[in-house]
Amino acid sequence: MSTIKIELTKQSKLQDLDLENIVFGREFSDHMFVMDYYDGQWRDARIEPFQNISVSPAFLSLHYAQSIFEGLKAFYTQNDEIVLFRPQANFSRLNKSAERMCIPAFDEAFALEALKKLVDIDKAWVPKVKGASLYIRPLIFATDEFVGVKPSDSYRFVIFTCPVNKYYDAPVKVKIEESFTRACSGGVGYSKTAGNYASSLYPTKLAQKEGFDQLIWTDGKEHKYIEESGTMNLMVKIGDTLITPKAGDTILAGITRDSVLKIARDWGMKVEERNLAVQEVLDAHANGTLLEVFGTGTAVTICHIIAIGYRGKMLELPPIAGREFSNKVNEQLAKIRLGSEKDKFGWIEKVS
């Protein structure tokens, strides 16, 4: 596949957007990329006006959750260039999810080319407001009209974008979850598949009724070890060491997570990817060595956690202003994205 058919919208919606007051995930750009899989190959690549998709009630994805997605961002640099942050890693992870969900692999280089064209066409939608960005959502879902448990023979690949601001307006409170399970070994916890997120909604809703913003998920076998936190991977700084649960078949291998770890190691910091027991965090809090707890993810970048709920008790964490590492790495990621810091890792991809 080498060509992408382009149909431009007749009327842009941009004039209706207040870029100073963006609600995350509610306003969508003018165009989307679409291609379909049938007869054994991906075909019919096109960029067309953002619009509703007509689906059959018998779509396999609606019944058996053959649906995967990704999330990444585009930014304006200080030199007025539009760049993507690590898009190759996102498409590689999407193909990994596709393999687990019996979805045919796609050409990652072609997908990146299509994404660049899409963002270039809708470049006016990339916000120049500080802290804002263009969020990009690639997704693939089954389109066979069939009621029966089997992999689909046809699929649709869509990429659409939306201007966004911060995911969370303030630092968050999280609860350590011990009753419900997000993922078990041998399952699909490492994949960005729709079912993972659907199963997390009810436990999260219960926690929010208690005044928490999110959950800290623990292992499905003993609820003894910390895994990840809702919309983000989790990291703690105990003493002089940055610790994060090792990515495996129950934990998403976050791209922001990987970026933070690479920067930390480049700075000479002591980094450990390993099992992180709940008790270890409790002990560190008790003895005053738990200095920082934060989440990492595309939507949140760095999200400070200010309190952890555990068995009816609330662990208050150190003030945000004094958190040396997480504040510094957040600034470093922003500098790399905005072009004020050299991209020594090769993470930035220019759109045009």
Average pLDDT over residues 5-28: 90
Task: Decide if 340 contacts 130 (C-beta within 8 A).
Answer: no
For residue 77 the two structure tokens come to 């640099």
Residue 194, C-beta contacts closer than 8 angstroms, at least 6 positions apart = 65, 67, 68, 69
Position 130 scores a pLDDT of 84
Position 224 scores a pLDDT of 97
The single-letter DSSP state of residue 16 is G
DSSP characters for 22-51? PPTTT---SEEEEEEEETTEEEEEEEEE--
pLDDT digits (tens, 9 = 90+) for 157-183: 999 999 998 888 789 999 999 999 999
Per this entry, what is the length of the chain?
352
For residue 137 the two structure tokens come to 């959502």
Burial class (CB in 10 A: 0-12, 13-18, 19+), 253: middle
Band (pLDDT 50/70/90 cuts) for residue 114 is very high
Position 23 scores a pLDDT of 83
Residue 301, C-beta contacts closer than 8 angstroms, at least 6 positions apart = 256, 330, 333, 334
pLDDT digits (tens, 9 = 90+) for 118-171: 999 999 999 988 889 999 999 999 999 999 999 999 999 999 999 998 888 789
- The residue among 218, 55, 69, 179 whose CA lies nearest residue 135 is 69
Measured in degrees and rounded to the nearest 5, phi and psi for residue 296 equal -130, 140
For residue 147 the two structure tokens come to 């009621």
Percent of the chain with pLDDT over 90: 91
Position 83 scores a pLDDT of 97
Position 349 scores a pLDDT of 97
pLDDT digits (tens, 9 = 90+) for 251-265: 999 999 999 999 999
For residue 261 the two structure tokens come to 């770890």
Alpha helices, DSSP H only, in 39-188?
A: 60-64, 87-100, 108-121
Q: How would you classify residue 300: left for phi > 0, otherwise alpha for psi between -120 and 50, otherwise beta?
A: alpha
C-alpha span between 95 and 90 (Å, rounded): 9
- The residue among 320, 323, 343 whose CA lies nearest residue 333 is 343
Position 21 scores a pLDDT of 81
> 128 pairs with which residues across the strands?
none
Helix (H, G, I), strand (E, B) or coil at 232: strand
pLDDT digits (tens, 9 = 90+) for 44-62: 999 999 999 999 999 999 9
Helix (H, G, I), strand (E, B) or coil at 210: coil
Band (pLDDT 50/70/90 cuts) for residue 1 is low
Average pLDDT over residues 270-288: 98
CA max distance for the chain: 63
> 138 pairs with which residues across the strands?
159
Domains annotated for the chain, with CATH where assigned, are 5-164 (3.30.470.10), 172-338 (3.20.10.10)
pLDDT digits (tens, 9 = 90+) for 317-352: 999 999 999 999 999 999 999 999 999 999 999 997
C-alpha span between 159 and 94 (Å, rounded): 12
Position 33 scores a pLDDT of 98
* Location of structure tokens 């999330």: 71
Q: What is the pTM of this model?
A: 0.95
Task: Decide if 195 contacts 100 (C-beta within 8 A).
Answer: no
For residue 141 the two structure tokens come to 């879902």
Position 169 scores a pLDDT of 79
Task: Decide if 214 contacts 172 (C-beta within 8 A).
Answer: yes
